[in-house]
């Protein structure tokens, strides 16, 4: 192929560095696709009217950084760069806008990611920490089981069965440092040739992790009941990632009929699976919690994932994944050699926290606290009901407000910011911006606010959005 490289003989940068920089940017921006053949150093030198040593130096640098590779008797080719971090060019006006956002002093921040850390059981955690390290327990500092401590896996399994209807043995549970790590592990188990369907909008962090694992991501639209199974059936997906208990960010709770339809889709092909992300199922304020999708599964097709980040604290960094039995052999072959990413000390503390009843008491307490905050927020938002539809209530830790006359999301966010309130648009949760089907919607989380802050925020929003 012919490669045009603009060279500036007046530039202080050496010619080889200009060639290197141009090709590097083309690879990063996608102008040179993975697998593309580059001209030889001799041909490129002739085309650019430079010495061959100049082009060779540029190619050597690109090769050492992994942007291109030299194949014997074939030439130079562009490497696969999906896993490379692409640095965003920040324009001056963009940088100024971002600095302004950081510098803003918000009176109220309705973050959907926060939790109430004021109620963290510090005294209990401190006591269990001392119990774990009593008598110079050297065993806690030795390497543990790669799937996590058996005692903790058993405690998690018992809790999941009683509280969520999940059916599993400790051998099926893998403990890891957060959902991102477990998704990376799962990506390796499934193989990066596996095509993944995801709800759109979705939890963007999961999307980024799975896409970074090399998977082709197929967005599937949602209706009022969750992922559209009819659309799912029309695409060539092997695995579907869903959040049936409280979809993020829409707040939809998937009814039993739709769950059965998803299971039927999985059963129609031998290697189809569902990833059930049960990230905040503990918090439901109306009616009884719907059992986990995994508990309805009679064919071993649901991969169940959960975390203690919402129910205890994000810093705990403990997540868990329940694999169907038929995937255990693949896990041991492809990823069983990885050491556990959670310290045995933290696992032991958490195990005691669950087994001694502290976790259940903490959850019951937090449900009451969050229910009170939830009710205060809905009361404060009544003044906005003439202008906004309110959705996603009665479960989880956030609600959605959609402007009835279609005011743009960016305008709603800016108007709130000028009033000293930070709200969050949901456009970032869409896999492709063009598929944004809620253009007038913002998200309000309330877990990290006290009741006075919630009342103040609702009052300021009512004034800002008149």
Query: If you classify domain 122-356 with CATH, what class do you get?
Result: alpha beta
Task: List CB contacts of 348: < 8 A, sequence separation 6 or more.
Answer: 132, 140, 149, 151, 152
| Ranges of each domain in the chain | 15-78, 95-117+361-464, 122-356
CB of 228 closer than 8 Å to CB of 207: no
The predicted structure's pLDDT at residue 281: 77
CA distance 84 to 87: 9
Reply yes or no on domain 95-117+361-464 having CATH 3.40.50.300: no
The verdict on domain 15-78 having CATH code 1.10.10.10 is yes
pLDDT at 319: 94
Q: How many CA atoms lie within 13 A of 18 on its CB side?
A: 15
CB 135 within 8 A of CB 330: no
pLDDT score, position 85: 45
Q: Would you state the pLDDT for residue 83? A: 44
CATH topology identical between 15-78 and 95-117+361-464: no
Instruction: Indicate the Cα dihedral angle 213, 304, 363, 340, nearest 10°.
Output: -60
pTM of the predicted model, to two decimals? 0.75
The pLDDT of residue 8 is 83
Q: How far is residue 148's CA from residue 166's CA, in Å, rounded to a whole number?
A: 19
pLDDT at position 1 is 65
Please list, residue by residue across 65-93, b when 16 or more beta carbons sit within 10 angstroms of its beta carbon and e when fewer do: eebbeeeeeeebbbbebeeeeeeeeeeee
pLDDT (0 to 100) of residue 140: 73
Nearest Cα to Cα of residue 443 among 463, 464, 460, 421 = 421
The pLDDT of residue 65? 80
Q: What is the pLDDT, as a whole number, of residue 435?
A: 54
pLDDT of residue 288: 67
Q: What are the average pLDDT values for consecutive 10-residue runs of the chain, which has 466 residues? A: 80 87 86 88 90 90 86 87 47 50 78 88 92 74 88 96 94 94 95 94 92 92 92 96 91 91 96 92 72 94 94 88 96 93 93 95 92 94 94 83 92 95 91 67 94 96 94
DSSP 3-state of 218: strand
Helices (H), 139-268: 150-164, 179-190, 204-212, 229-233, 256-267
* pLDDT score for 88: 44
How distant, in Å, are the alpha carbons of 192, 228, 229, 366, 382 from that of 233? 21, 9, 6, 39, 40
């Amino acid at each position: 192929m012919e490669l045009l490289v603009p060279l500036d003989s007046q530039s202080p940068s050496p010619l080889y560095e200009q060639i290197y920089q141009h090709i590097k940017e083309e690879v990063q921006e996608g102008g040179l696709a993975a697998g593309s053949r580059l001209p030889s150093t001799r041909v490129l030198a002739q085309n650019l009217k430079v010495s061959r040593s100049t082009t060779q130096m540029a190619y050597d640098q690109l090769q050492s950084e992994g942007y291109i590779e030299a194949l014997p008797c074939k030439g130079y080719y562009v490497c696969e760069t999906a896993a490379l971090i692409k640095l965003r060019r920040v324009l001056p006006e963009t940088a100024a806008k971002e600095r302004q956002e950081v510098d803003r002093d918000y009176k109220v921040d309705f973050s959907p990611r926060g939790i109430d850390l004021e109620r963290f059981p510090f005294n209990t955690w401190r006591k269990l920490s001392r119990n774990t390290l009593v008598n110079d327990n050297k065993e806690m500092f030795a390497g543990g089981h790669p799937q996590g401590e058996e005692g903790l896996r058993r405690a998690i399994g018992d809790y999941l069965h009683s509280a969520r209807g999940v059916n599993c043995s400790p051998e099926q549970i893998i403990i890891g440092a957060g959902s991102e790590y477990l998704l990376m592990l799962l990506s390796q188990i499934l193989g990066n040739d596996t095509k993944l369907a995801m709800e759109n909008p979705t939890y963007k962090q999961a999307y980024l992790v799975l896409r970074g694992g090399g998977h082709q991501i197929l967005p599937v639209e949602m209706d009022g009941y969750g992922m559209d199974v009819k659309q799912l059936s029309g695409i060539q997906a092997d695995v579907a990632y869903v959040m049936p208990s409280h979809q993020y960010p829409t707040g939809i709770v998937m009814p039993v009929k739709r769950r059965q339809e998803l299971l039927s889709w999985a059963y129609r092909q031998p290697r189809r699976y569902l990833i059930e992300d049960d990230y905040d199922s503990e918090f439901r304020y109306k009616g009884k919690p719907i059992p986990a999708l995994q508990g309805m599964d009679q064919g071993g097709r649901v991969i169940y994932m959960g975390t203690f980040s919402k129910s205890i604290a994000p810093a705990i960094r403990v997540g868990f994944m329940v694999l169907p039995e038929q995937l255990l052999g693949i896990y041991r072959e492809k990823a069983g050699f990885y050491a556990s990413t959670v310290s045995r000390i933290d696992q032991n503390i958490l195990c005691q926290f669950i087994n001694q009843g502290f976790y259940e008491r903490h959850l019951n307490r937090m449900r009451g606290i969050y229910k009170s905050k939830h009710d205060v927020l809905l009361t404060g938002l009544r003044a906005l009901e003439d202008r906004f539809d309110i959705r996603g209530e009665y479960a989880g830790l956030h609600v959605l407000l959609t402007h009835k006359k279609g005011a743009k999301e960016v305008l709603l966010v800016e108007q709130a910011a000028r009033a000293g309130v930070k709200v969050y648009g949901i456009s970032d949760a869409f896999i492709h911006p063009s598929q944004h089907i809620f253009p007038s919607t913002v998200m309000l989380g309330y877990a990290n606010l006290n009741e006075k802050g919630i009342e103040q925020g609702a009052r300021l929003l009512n004034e800002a959005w008149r």
